[in-house]
Amino acid sequence: MLKRLLCLLLLCVLGVTLTAQDSTPIPDADIAVMLKRLHDTPTYINFSTDTVKEIYARGQKLGNRAPVFTTLGDSDTAQGAFLRPMGMGTHPGFYCDLGDHSDLQAALDFYSSVPPKTGISNSFNNTSLTAHQAFSAVTMFDPWWAESQSAECKVGETPIDCEYRLVQPASAIVMFGLIDVQFFSVDEYKANMGQIIQHSIDAGVIPILSTFVVLEENPKQDWRTSIVFDNALLDLSEEYQVPLINLWREVQVLPKKGISADGAHLGYPASGFCDFTGAQETYGGVLRNFLTLTALDMLRREVFEPDAPMPTPSG
């Protein structure tokens, strides 16, 4: 398994084009049904289910902390423009312009109130062991990736176990797909994601899933397979009754679906990574920042602090 993962990482870095393992053609009619489902699924689903509340209650008994979250994902999650600017500066959101969404300041304050680890001020600028370039869902259970990144991880401990033990989060942002769609069948992907979900539930961590985006003209990542994978995520969200952000739906109106010039990763402007006065209507990365902060705020209001007063938006 380790040799295979190292080979996959090398191929990714070198830009080698591979296709998903399952080469069975997907009928156009099936793709059309899946596309309609993605379009019709709301942006946020299953954020306050009984299951979510039960996961939170279990996590509280295990010592998990509501104002702490972590991230699981590939380069779209590991890069510095995702969430990190929200936690930098002299106060939460210092580098952000919330515009008409000033009510989100409460989320910035809440998730900046407890350090996830010694020397790390807040969850927004925490460097997660479970987010790294070329990571796939299966990487979460390979101990080599934990031991190679942190001396604090125990021998034989997986990245997800080490991250959850060190950080004690109540929730985790989870988005995999860019690598998975190149190497795994939908059954493998669904099984790997299901394992992440169940592992998180057992640890008392609420997994917040996200659909992902592949351009139809991208030669390295099969667009049709990505549609099947995204539908698998919708299935998993319903099966486990855990939250999901339908990023795919929201980027459809953006130029180039919000993807950068490299044709694969979410795009950002040169600055203003959390400028919510309009940049989220052009750049997929800024939009993901906005949707993720909104999702975290929903979890705060509906599960962590259900009795807290709702701030009045400015404008």
Max intra-chain CA distance, the chain = 55
Report the CATH architecture of 33-302. 3-Layer(aba) Sandwich (3.40)
- Residue 65 phi, psi (nearest 5): -120, 125
Amino acid present at 304: F
Q: How far apart are alpha carbons 24 and 20 in whole angstroms?
A: 10
Q: How far apart are alpha carbons 121 and 123 in whole angstroms?
A: 7
Q: What is the tens place of the pLDDT at every residue in 223-255?
A: 999 999 999 999 999 999 999 999 999 999 999
Dihedral of alpha carbons 298, 299, 302, 308, sign = negative
Give the pLDDT mean for 127-147.
Answer: 97
The token pair at 62 is 């295990």
Q: What is the tens place of the pLDDT at every residue in 86-130?
A: 999 999 999 999 999 999 999 999 999 999 999 999 999 999 999
Q: How far apart are alpha carbons 150 and 163 in whole angstroms?
A: 10
pLDDT of residue 220: 86
The token pair at 199 is 């592992």
Q: How far apart are alpha carbons 189 and 234 in whole angstroms?
A: 13
pTM, two decimals, is: 0.91
